[in-house]
Chain A
Amino acid sequence: MRTKDIVSGIKCGLLDMHSRLEEQEIARRRYKRHAAFITEIRSKPGFSLAVKDNIAVKGIRFTAGSRILEGYVAGYDATAVERLGREFSIVGKASLDPFGAGSGGDTCDFGRTLNPHDIGRVPGGSSSGCAVAIALEMCDFALGSDTFGSARAPAAFCGIVGFRPTYGLVSRHGLIPLCMSLDTVAPMARDVWGVAYLLSHIAGPDKHDTTTHAGKETDYRSGLERYELKGKRVLVPQNLLELCDSGIIECAEKGIGVMKDMGAKISRMRMEGLELSTHAYYLAMFAEFSSDMQRYGSPIYGFRGPVEEARGRLLSAELKRRILIGTLITMKEHRERWYSMGLKGIRRVRMLMEKGMERFDLMVMPSMPAPPWKHGTLNPVDSYKTDLLTGPASLAGMPAVSIPCGKAHGLHAGLQIIGRRFDDLGVLGAAHRLEGFL
Chain B
Amino acid sequence: MEMHIEKLCSLAKLQIGREEKEALGKDIAEILEWVKALERIPDSSVARRRVSEELRADKAGKWRD
Contact = CB atoms under 8 A, between A and B. Distances in A.
Nearest to A325: B28
A269 B35 CA distance: 25
Contacts of A325: 28, 31-32
Interface in B6-65: 8-9, 11-16, 20, 23-24, 27-28, 30-32, 34-35, 37-42, 44, 47-48, 50-52, 54-55, 57-58, 63-65
Given A279-B35, A283-B35, A308-B13, A269 B44 contact: no
B54 A315 contact: no
Contacts of A381: 30-31, 34
Contacts of A256: 65
A44 B12 CA distance: 43
A269 B31 contact: no
Nearest to B58: A267
A344 B30 CA distance: 21
Given A271-B51, A328-B4, A276 B38 contact: yes
Interface size bracket, A side: 35 or more
Contact of B12 (A266, A323, A348, A358): A323
Contact of A269 (B14, B20, B40, B55): B55
B54 A328 contact: no
A123 interface: no
B37 A276 contact: yes
Given A267-B64, A312-B14, A380 B54 contact: no
Given A315-B14, A324-B9, A324-B28, A351 B48 contact: yes
B14 A317 contact: no
B44 to A, nearest CB: 6
Q: Is the interface of B mostly helix, strand, loop or mixed?
A: helix
A24 to B, nearest CB: 41
Nearest to B55: A359
Interface size bracket, B side: 35 or more
Contacts of A46: none
B61 to A, nearest CB: 9
A89 B4 CA distance: 49
Given A317-B24, A321-B31, A338-B35, A356 B51 contact: yes
B5 to A, nearest CB: 7
A207 B43 CA distance: 38
A270 B47 contact: no
A297 B15 CA distance: 12
Q: From B5, B13, B20, name the one whose CB has the most chain A CB atoms within 10 angstroms.
A: B13
Contacts of B32: 325, 338
Contacts of A309: 15
A311 B11 CA distance: 12
A321 B47 contact: no
A226 interface: no
A273 B42 contact: yes
Nearest to A319: B14
A347 B44 contact: yes
B15 to A, nearest CB: 4
Contact of A351 (B4, B20, B44): B44
A282 B35 contact: yes
B42 A348 contact: yes
16 contacts: A271-B54, A273-B41, A279-B37, A283-B38, A308-B14, A313-B15, A317-B20, A324-B14, A324-B24, A328-B28, A342-B38, A352-B47, A355-B47, A355-B52, A355-B55, A359-B58
Which A-B residue pairs are the 3 nearest by beta carbons? Answer: A312-B15, A308-B15, A266-B65
Given A308-B14, A324-B5, A327-B12, 14 more contacts: A266-B64, A266-B65, A271-B51, A276-B38, A279-B34, A283-B35, A311-B14, A324-B9, A324-B12, A327-B8, A328-B4, A351-B47, A355-B48, A358-B55
